[in-house]
């Protein structure tokens, strides 16, 4: 690949990743259009329709053999089961936050996620942190304390989203490139299908299922849950393969920023002073973390190619 082709691929990767994060940023607005369908029913259909959509993709791309090869590897099967359970927790809590008026707290979870990822690197992978990374973690911890003490509520939604998605990323790292995006989502949805079925039975026996009962428009939107789930994931996978890690690191803030704007300005969720202070501390921590990451990446490149004279 020539330098021009490489640069073009990197730009294309950045565009793919940006579109993925942009779509994730406005995901709450899509799920809000599904009201009065509750979060338990929405997640169930999201799982089942994602599985159906992935099956169609595997058929069109003729990649069922890849999936079968993965199923023959017990280690990969184990990690895809763990990944499925983690993404289930993430999806369920995200839907609960979105459909119960806690979009802002959900955005906080994805702001905290990069810091949780760094912390998991220490606790699980035994990585050594730089001073700036420790400072960022300390500031983020202070932000949580401010929110708990000042706002009078423990941000369990934010912390659960950050922990589940951060751990999900760690598991995907263990899987590596052996499992492509479509096969991964297919298997994760497959393992969760029984849970989705049980939830639909429970919802049907209690509050009643809403699919097909609220008009053609609502039913169509609900049927699109699988497509809405899969497309950003596939775009992100395409972008992550092409764009530099530093670009992906910066773009990951697009989604929580858009979610924050959605909750604070479009949905008019309350933002008392204590919450502003907590968010401000998190943003300071992210600035520290981002600047440190960019410096480390620049030093790494210089070490590899030598000093520029």
Residue owning tokens 């907590």: 278
Q: DSSP letter for 149, please.
A: I
Length of the chain: 309
Which pLDDT does position 307 carry in this prediction? Answer: 35
Q: Would you tell me the crossing angle of helices 181-205 and 64-71 to the nearest 10 degrees?
A: 80
Cβ–Cβ under 8 Å, residues 126 and 254: no
CA–CA dist 130, 292 (Å, integer)? 9
Task: Look at residues 175, 269, 240, 231 and name the one whose alpha carbon lies nearest to residue 27.
Answer: 231
CA–CA dist 14, 241 (Å, integer)? 10
Tally helices (H) and strands (E) across the chain.
14, 0
Cβ–Cβ under 8 Å, residues 163 and 109: no
Q: How far is CA 200 from CA 187, 195, 206, 227, in A?
A: 20, 9, 10, 20
- 208: alpha, beta or left, given left = phi > 0 and alpha = psi -120 to 50? left
pTM: 0.87
Cβ-based neighbour number of residue 268 at 10 Å? 9
Task: Look at residues 74, 58, 32, 298 and name the one whose alpha carbon lies nearest to residue 178.
Answer: 74
pLDDT tens, residue order, the chain (309 aa) = 677 777 788 888 889 889 999 999 999 999 999 999 999 999 999 999 999 999 999 999 899 999 999 999 999 999 999 999 999 999 999 999 999 999 999 999 998 888 888 888 778 877 787 888 888 889 888 888 888 877 677 889 999 999 998 898 888 878 877 888 889 899 999 999 999 999 999 999 999 999 999 999 999 999 999 999 989 988 888 887 777 766 777 788 889 999 999 999 999 998 888 889 989 999 998 898 888 877 876 776 554 333 333
Residue owning tokens 């992935």: 54
Q: Which two tokens mark 282?
A: 């998190």
Cβ-based neighbour number of residue 154 at 10 Å? 11
Task: Look at residues 279, 241, 52, 54 and name the one whose alpha carbon lies nearest to residue 158.
Answer: 279
Q: Which two tokens mark 61?
A: 């791309």
Q: Indicate the SS3 state at residue 91.
A: helix
Residue owning tokens 């809403």: 210
Cβ–Cβ under 8 Å, residues 266 and 124: no
| Cβ-proximal residues to 252 (8 Å cutoff; 6+ apart), any chain | 21, 110, 113, 114
């Amino acid at each position: 690949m020539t330098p021009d082709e490489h640069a073009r691929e990197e730009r294309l990767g950045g565009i793919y990743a940006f579109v993925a994060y942009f779509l994730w940023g406005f995901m709450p607005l899509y799920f809000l259009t599904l009201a009065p369908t509750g979060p338990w029913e929405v997640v169930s259909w999201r799982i089942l329709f994602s599985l159906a959509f992935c099956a169609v993709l595997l058929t069109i791309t003729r990649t069922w053999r890849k999936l079968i090869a993965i199923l023959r590897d017990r280690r990969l099967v184990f990690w895809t089961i763990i990944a499925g359970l983690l993404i289930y927790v993430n999806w369920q809590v995200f839907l609960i936050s979105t459909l119960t008026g806690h979009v802002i707290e959900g955005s906080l979870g994805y702001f905290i996620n990069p810091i949780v990822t760094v912390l998991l690197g220490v606790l699980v992978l035994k990585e050594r942190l730089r001073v700036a990374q420790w400072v960022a973690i300390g500031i983020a911890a202070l932000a949580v304390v401010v929110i708990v003490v000042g706002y009078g509520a423990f941000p369990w939604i934010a912390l659960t989203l950050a922990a589940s998605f951060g751990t999900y990323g760690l598991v995907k790292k263990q899987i590596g490139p052996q499992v492509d995006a479509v096969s991964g989502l297919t298997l994760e949805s497959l393992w969760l299908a029984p849970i989705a079925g049980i939830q639909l039975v429970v919802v049907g026996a209690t509050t009643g299922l809403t699919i097909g009962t609220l008009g053609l428009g609502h039913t169509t939107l609900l049927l699109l849950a699988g497509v809405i789930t899969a497309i950003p994931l596939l775009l992100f996978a395409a972008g992550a393969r092409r764009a530099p890690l530093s670009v992906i690191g910066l773009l990951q803030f697009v989604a929580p920023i858009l979610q924050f704007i959605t909750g604070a300005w479009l949905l008019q969720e309350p933002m008392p002073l204590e919450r502003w202070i907590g968010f401000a501390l998190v943003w300071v921590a992210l600035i520290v973390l981002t600047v440190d990451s960019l410096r480390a990446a620049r030093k790494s490149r210089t070490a590899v190619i030598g000093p520029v004279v």
